[in-house]
Amino acid sequence: MAKRATKAAAGDPKDNAEDYLRMYRQMVRIRAFEDQANQLYLSAKMPGLTHMYSGQEAVAVGICEALEVTDRITSTHRGHGHCVAKGAEFKEMFCELLGRAEGYCRGKGGSMHIADQSNGNLGANAIVGGSMGIATGSALRAKLQGAEDVTVCFFGDGATAQGLWYEVMNMAALWKLPVIYACENNGYSEYTRTAEIAAGEIRKRAEAFGIESFTVDGQDVLAVNRLARDLVGRARRGEGPFFVELETYRYHGHHVGDINRDYYRARDEEAEWKSLRDPIVNFGKWLEAEGVASAEELVAIGQAVEEDAAEAVAYALEAPYPPGEEVDMHVFAGVPHALAYIDGAKA
Amino acid sequence: MSEKTFRAALNEALHQEMAANPDVVVFGEDVTGGLGGDGEEDAWGGAFGVTKGLLAAYGRDRVLDTPISESAFVGAAGGAALTGLRPVVEIMFVDFIGVCLDQVMNQAAKFRYMFGGKARTPMVLRATFGAGARSASQHSQALYPIFTHIPGLKVVIPATPHDAKGLLIEAIRDDDPVIFLENKMLYDVTGEVPDQSYTVPFGEARVVREGGDATIIAFGRMVGRAEDAAKTLAKEGIDVTIVDPRTTSPLDTETILEFAEETGRVVVVDEANPRCGMAADIAALIAEEAFDALKAPILKVTPPHTPVPYAPELEDAYLPDAARIADAVRRVTQH
């Protein structure tokens, strides 16, 4: 899917209908993808487990709609949303989740390691905070090569407890790198309320490095997109790095198996976010109120996306697994089989 | 061709590759040195002087001093490599890998496999290693078995100035993450090194000398000690082969097995700790693949399974020396 910077801005919202509807559709696609992934887990059709992005859609979409296809992102263990928002296709994603050969990583990575280089997604990461160095290195490459691309480093509030973040912020600030550190604060570090384990304010930690920092409502896709477009443009002009804290909420548990959450999270709190602050519902209401789309049109978008998702799942469930001989492939560049290589056979 | 130190050979490799390819960048702690000083800009050129002169030749866009943040700059090397540069980063002492192993083990080493062969990570991580400098437990280790154990990494241990240069150029041109380990006690050793650029391929052992009575397999600085032992043994009428694998990943099993089978008597000399080390690995390989040719048990000559001590008396006792190597060879030949 071709991605271009949205022109969404002040003025008559109907002038930007195409951009707005694409953002709406992308958020719906993420939700539909996650609902299907959850069902695949619950029906024991998926190996392993996965972490749902539902509830945080406005973050990934608001930011990625401000990026060009050549811009890079690094993602997290909760990464399906970033992957979809940066342009990935359902079929290859479901194939990867189900460990099939047609998956983005030929079934070698699974949910926590989806990467889609063709769209600039450098990969999800199963180590909390693990991608911060990669994103910073990508931005260093852009600066040293005189390239214009920007790298967005997505991570959660839990990752702000990792020392690596402080190391890379120092380096990125010193070298004025075109990187945006985007902290999706969903309030929970795995099964612990982040307020219980984080001293002070997260944003001030970034400011201490002289990094211009922002807080934005991560449930409001337009607010996120407006800020992202501004910061991406500035980062391209060499004014980076930046830090953004996006206030959001995780609808599911830490992972799909975390079903009974009463021991760490109130049901009322979940209900409140879902009923009052849902990013898709609220954006849909706004689109209707501004006359960009009718309720029927939005329902039709939802139905079409759900059909796409169901079709992709059906395809992936029938798709072949990688053959067993691929187990020792893809370890080294230009070496078909790593074991053979170690045995002295030359590539 | 001229006589150069191990250090100068490495420096020449970096100069030649930086000149040949604008994607090659060098960063690490103090790799320029002299920042803000009154003297020449590249006054120091790294804690061991290996990167001296690079700043003056290639500028601050390609030679960068970093904060003392190994996780950040090794992680950034992975990200820069994944997106198109060829970074060569320096960890001053390999012991410091402890603070950034995630970036090597879980990140760079695994990109290619995790992403189904669709990633390329051409980075080189240079680090000094080895005991002998009276630097105690956190500046003296030989951690190559740890790296060798991690799939996706190539691991290089040059023993001579010639190989140091050729292997480093090969490492920089390689498309996988390479851990390039320089024994700090070898920096001032001299040897013949061609002036022009050349590569030494990975996975091809060097046969240092040939003799029919026993085979010594040794790494890095231990190769020289094995040669000293061989001289002593020759006077006793014992002629040994010495094999220097040069890289532990990939490992030239063919050459190792060839000489193990030919002599039937093998001693493996390894500066790393004995448990799960290269000596154990190679002994297992030979036991599995060349059992019928063996005339004696495979002996390992390694340090004890302890941290590296500080006191000179203790450190000298820690490292394998020529006398211990010669003793082991006598034992396998008399078996």
At residue A262's C-alpha, the angle toward residues A257 and A264, to 5°, is 90
A11, pLDDT greater than 90: no
Of A138, A170, A343, the CB nearest to B79: A138
What is the mean pLDDT of the segment spanning B268-293?
A: 96
What are phi and psi for residue B93, nearest 5 degrees? Answer: -130, 135
CA A65 to CA A16: how far, in whole Å?
13
Q: What percent of chain B has pLDDT over 90?
A: 93
Write out pLDDT tens, residues B57-78.
999 899 999 999 999 999 999 9
- State the pLDDT at residue A10: 56
Q: What percent of chain A has pLDDT over 90?
A: 89
More confident position, A165 or A339: A165
Q: Pull the structure tokens for residue B225.
A: 């000690």
Three-state SS letters, chain B: CEEEEHHHHHHHHHHHHHHHCCCEEEEECCCCCCCCCCCCCCCCCCCCCCCCCHHHHHCCCCEEECCCCHHHHHHHHHHHHHCCCEEEEEEEEHHHHHHCHHHHHHHHHHHHHHCCCCCCCCCEEEEEECCCCCCCCCCCCCCHHHHHHCCCCEEECCCCHHHHHHHHHHHHHCCCCEEEEEEHHHCCCEEEECCCCCCCCCCCCEEEECCCCEEEEECCHHHHHHHHHHHHHHHCCCCEEEEECCEEECCCHHHHHHHHHHHCCEEEECCCCCCCCHHHHHHHHHHHHCHHHCCCCCEEECCCCCCCCCCHHHHHHHCCCHHHHHHHHHHHHHC
CA A154 to CA A53: how far, in whole Å?
12
Cβ-based contacts of A74 with chain B (< 8 Å): 79
- Mean pLDDT of the residues in chain A: 94
A65, pLDDT greater than 60: yes
Query: Any catalytic annotation for residue B149?
Result: no
Element (H, E) at A269: helix A267-276
Closest CA to A218 of A246, A237, A245: A246
Does B79 contact A332 at a Cβ distance shorter than 8 Å?
no
Report the Cα A152 to chain-centroid distance in Å. Answer: 10
pTM for the model = 0.95
The reply to whether A159 touches chain B by the CB within 8 Å rule is no
User: Nearest-CA distance from B141 to chain A in Å?
Assistant: 24
What is the mean pLDDT of the segment spanning B102-112?
A: 98
Task: Judge contact between A83 and A26, C-beta under 8 A.
Answer: no
CA B79 to CA B91: how far, in whole Å?
17
Q: Pull the structure tokens for residue A337.
A: 């089989």
Q: What percent of chain B has pLDDT over 70?
A: 97
Q: How many CA atoms lie within 13 A of B232 on its CB side?
A: 16
CA B52 to CA A32: how far, in whole Å?
56
Looking at this protein, which amino acid is placed at residue B72?
A: A
pLDDT band at A345 (very low <50, low <70, confident <90, very high): very low
The reply to whether A133 touches chain B by the CB within 8 Å rule is yes
- State the pLDDT at residue B34: 59
The reply to whether A163 touches chain B by the CB within 8 Å rule is yes
B39, pLDDT greater than 80: no
Signed CA dihedral, A281, A285, A288, A292: sign only? negative
Write out pLDDT tens, residues B199-218.
999 999 999 999 999 999 99
Q: Name A10's Cβ contacts closer than 8 Å, sequence gap at least 6.
A: none
* Segment 60-119 of chain A within 8 Å of chain B by CB: 72, 74, 103-109, 113, 115, 117
Q: Pull the structure tokens for residue A103.
A: 């998956």
Q: Which domains does chain B have, with CATH numbers?
A: 2-193 (3.40.50.970), 206-333 (3.40.50.920)
Cβ-based contacts of A142 with chain B (< 8 Å): 83
Cβ atoms within 10 Å of A228's Cβ, excluding its own: 29
B194, pLDDT greater than 90: yes
Does B67 contact A107 at a Cβ distance shorter than 8 Å?
no
pLDDT band at A241 (very low <50, low <70, confident <90, very high): very high
More confident position, A346 or A254: A254
- Please give the residue of chain A at the shortest CA–CA distance from B79: A134
Q: Pull the structure tokens for residue B222.
A: 């231990």
What is the mean pLDDT of the segment spanning A91-98?
A: 98
pLDDT band at A2 (very low <50, low <70, confident <90, very high): very low
> Which one of B86, B102, B115 would you mutate to disrupt binding with A, by most A Cβ within 10 Å of its Cβ?
B115
- State the pLDDT at residue A334: 87
User: Nearest-CA distance from A207 to chain B in Å?
Assistant: 18
CA B294 to CA B17: how far, in whole Å?
44
What are phi and psi for residue B310, nearest 5 degrees? Answer: -90, -50
pLDDT band at A12 (very low <50, low <70, confident <90, very high): confident
- Please give the residue of chain B at the shortest CA–CA distance from A168: B72
User: Nearest-CA distance from B275 to chain A in Å?
Assistant: 21
Q: Which domains does chain A have, with CATH numbers?
A: 3-346 (3.40.50.970)
> Residue B246 region, left (φ>0) first, then alpha (ψ -120 to 50), else beta?
left
CA A150 to CA A231: how far, in whole Å?
10
Closest CA to A71 of A301, A255, A229: A229
User: Nearest-CA distance from B261 to chain A in Å?
Assistant: 16
Task: Judge contact between B60 and B94, C-beta under 8 A.
Answer: no
What is the mean pLDDT of the segment spanning A200-209?
A: 97
CA B122 to CA B106: how far, in whole Å?
16
Cβ atoms within 10 Å of A234's Cβ, excluding its own: 16
Task: Judge contact between A4 and A68, C-beta under 8 A.
Answer: yes
Looking at this protein, which amino acid is placed at residue A288?
A: E
Does B115 contact A135 at a Cβ distance shorter than 8 Å?
no
pLDDT band at B41 (very low <50, low <70, confident <90, very high): low
What are phi and psi for residue A240, nearest 5 degrees? Answer: -75, -175
Q: Which of helix, strand or coil describes residue A173?
A: helix
pLDDT band at A15 (very low <50, low <70, confident <90, very high): confident
Does B69 contact A170 at a Cβ distance shorter than 8 Å?
yes
What is the mean pLDDT of the segment spanning A92-113?
A: 97
User: Residues A175, A176, A182, A185: what is their CA dihedral angle, to the nearest 10 degrees?
Assistant: 70
- Of the candidates B139, B149, B162, B335, the residue annotated as catalytic is B139
- Mean pLDDT of the residues in chain B: 95
The strands making up B247-249's β-sheet, listed across from edge to edge, are B63-65, B24-28, B86-93, B124-129, B178-183, B154-156, B247-249
Q: Pull the structure tokens for residue A98.
A: 């189900």
Q: How many CA atoms lie within 13 A of A33 on its CB side?
A: 32
Q: What is the DSSP letter of A9?
A: -
> Complex ipTM, two decimals?
0.94
Cα–Cα distance list, B324 to A201, B206, B222, B244, B330 (Å): 60, 22, 11, 18, 10
Of A72, A171, A329, the CB nearest to B72: A171
More confident position, B56 or A129: A129
What is the mean pLDDT of the segment spanning B173-184?
A: 98
Write out pLDDT tens, residues A266-282.
999 999 999 999 999 99
